[in-house]
Amino acid sequence: MTLAAASGFRRLFGNDPTGVWAAPGRVNLIGEHTDYNEGVVLPFAIAERTEAAIASRQDGHIRMCSLQHPGEIVELKVRSLSPGLPRGWAAYVAGVAWAMECEEGFDLAIDGSVPLGSGLSSSAALTCSVGLGLNDLFGFGMTHRQIARAAQAAENDYVGAPTGGMDQIASLLCRSGHALLYDVRADTTEQVPFAPEAAGLSVLVVDSMIRHGHASGEYQSRRQDCEESARRLSVRSLRGVTVADLPIALEQLGDERLVKRTRHVVTENQRVLDIAAALARDDWERVGRLLTEAHESYRDDFAASCPEVDVAVEALLEAGALGARLTGGGFGGAAIALIGTDDIDDARSAVDAAYDERNYQPASMFTVMPSAGAQRIA
Ligand code: GLA
């Protein structure tokens, strides 16, 4: 996969970039809507990524272009950065410069291969490639964790998407051949070896092509449900409730919707830890079962799935996947399956047939490998 941020930069701005920085999207293996509840998550970086080619400017102007939006150059002054301006993809770049309190201008060209709106975190790939680049270029001396926080602030406070911090941490800290166990409350990370290919398995992504928008609506309302549940249970966040506490806590909530949301978050935290333990034992059958249980919880209790993803999960399981689930923020996007590498062709045909039967637009399917986190590439 060759991306073209550097050549796009040269073509558009007429000079060389000072450097090129790349940051990956991620698959969240498990741990959905647990991050903003101070819980645990287990994402891994994928090879699909965003590249940012950048050079500084002396006149305090920012000029940005994206190879995914040909012909458009967005220009503004670094001193006029303010949440809400500009809109669209450029807000993610401007938001990072704002969160890092940039005082100098720059030219920037981006190119990306993470499918947009599929739940594979194209936004973190964008903000983290830009954050890593600006940090190097202007010598801010920030650690990867600090860059992750700035990237998250760009999304939360500049773009206005109320997401948690998993995606940015994953994009910056993941390592090839590993998933990253991130405990938000403790603010600790652990590299968990994750090599399904050694067991003859693959992770197949089935992108339903149904698009979500995290800046609006459902994501936010799930977050509010979780906050309301924590308030009623007198805990700082739902991380303060364990599976053992659950029966009493659910009784105390006295609201069917909050019961379901809480049950998802609390059991999901436990499944994350259980999958990490199963991976350590190479118990792939158990990993698969937990993935499917997580899907049921995400679909039924958290009500964050959609028919197209549910149909994909079902077809994948029928085609012999060890487990399958909706990954990412929900309300569309992609399913992942842990599946025998030899069964991939059958699984693809099964999904195609199920989609065709229902007149859904065809899904996009590809395998992913646990890949490296963000880095300077030129
Ligand atoms: C999106 C958000 C993350 C996380 C997931 C759900 O990807 O950006 O912070 O909340 O949804 O697990």
Q: Residue 142: which CATH number?
A: 3.30.230.10
Instruction: For residues 141 and 281, state if they share a domain.
Output: no
Instruction: For residues 102 and 185, state if they share a domain.
Output: yes
**Residue with CA nearest ligand 1 atom 2:** 163
Average pLDDT, the chain: 97
- Amino acid identity, position 266: V
Instruction: For residues 172 and 73, state if they share a domain.
Output: yes
Q: Which of 256, 326, 338 is nearest to 298 (CA)?
A: 326
Q: Domain for residue 374, yes or no?
A: no
Out of 191, 206, 230, pick the residue that ends a domain.
191
Out of 191, 221, 246, pick the residue that ends a domain.
191
Res 321 pLDDT > 70: yes
Best residue among 27, 28, 152 to mutate for probing ligand 1's pocket (most ligand atoms within 8 Å of CB) is: 28
Give me the mean pLDDT over the 317-340 stretch.
Answer: 98
Instruction: For residues 159 and 235, state if they share a domain.
Output: no
Using pLDDT thresholds of 50, 70 and 90, give the confidence band for residue 216.
low
Q: Distance (Å, rounded) from C-alpha 9 to C-alpha 97?
A: 18
Q: Distance (Å, rounded) from C-alpha 12 to C-alpha 284?
A: 49
Q: What is the pLDDT of residue 322?
A: 98
Res 214 pLDDT > 70: no
Instruction: For residues 66 and 98, state if they share a domain.
Output: yes
Atom of ligand 1 nearest to the CA of 28: 12
Instruction: For residues 187 and 216, state if they share a domain.
Output: no
Res 215 pLDDT > 70: no
Instruction: For residues 319 and 199, state if they share a domain.
Output: yes
Atom of ligand 1 nearest to the CA of 33: 12
Best residue among 27, 32, 33 to mutate for probing ligand 1's pocket (most ligand atoms within 8 Å of CB) is: 33
Distance 103 CA to ligand 1 centre (A): 30
Q: What is the pLDDT of residue 160?
A: 92
Distance 296 CA to ligand 1 centre (A): 18
Please write the tens of the pLDDT for every residue from 266-308.
Answer: 999 999 999 999 999 999 999 999 999 999 999 999 999 999 9
> Which residue range(s) make up the domain with 298?
194-368
Dihedral pair phi/psi, residue 180, rounded to 5°: -115, 115
Q: Domain for residue 376, yes or no?
A: no
Q: Domain for residue 373, yes or no?
A: no
Distance 132 CA to ligand 1 centre (A): 21
Q: How many structural domains are present in the chain?
A: 2
Residue written as tokens 């770049």? 93
Out of 142, 159, 191, pick the residue that ends a domain.
191
Instruction: Name the percent of the chain lying above pLDDT 90.
Output: 97
Q: What is the pLDDT of residue 140?
A: 98
Give me the mean pLDDT over the 256-274 stretch.
Answer: 98
Report residue 84 as tokens.
């809400």
CA 117 and chain centroid, separation: 10
CATH of the domain at 322: 3.30.70.890
Using pLDDT thresholds of 50, 70 and 90, give the confidence band for residue 199.
very high
- Are the beta carbons of 334 and 205 closer than 8 angstroms? yes
Q: What is the pLDDT of residue 1?
A: 61
Instruction: For residues 306 and 284, state if they share a domain.
Output: yes
Best residue among 29, 155, 166 to mutate for probing ligand 1's pocket (most ligand atoms within 8 Å of CB) is: 166
Q: Distance (Å, rounded) from C-alpha 147 to C-alpha 102?
A: 13
Instruction: For residues 278 and 141, state if they share a domain.
Output: no
Instruction: For residues 153 and 290, state if they share a domain.
Output: no
Instruction: For residues 18 and 120, state if they share a domain.
Output: yes
Say whether 167 is catalytic. yes
